[in-house]
Amino acid sequence: MEITESKERDFLVLSVVGRLDANSINKFEETLIGKIEDGNKNVVIDLSDLEYISSSGLRVFLVGAKKLDEFDKKLNLCNVKEHIQEVFNITGFTPIFDFYDNLRSVTNK
pLDDT at 47 over 80: yes
Look up the CATH number of the domain holding residue 76.
Answer: 3.30.750.24
Q: Quote the number of domains for the chain.
A: 1
What local confidence, expressed as pLDDT, does residue 109 receive?
75
pLDDT digits (tens, 9 = 90+) for 3-27: 999 999 999 999 999 999 999 999 9
Q: With left for phi above 0 and alpha for psi between -120 and 50, is residue 29 left, alpha or beta?
A: alpha
Q: Residue 39 is part of which domain span?
A: 2-107
pLDDT digits (tens, 9 = 90+) for 59-92: 999 999 999 999 999 999 999 999 999 999 999 9
Q: Could you give the CA distance from residue 29 to residue 80 in angstroms, rounded to a whole number?
A: 19
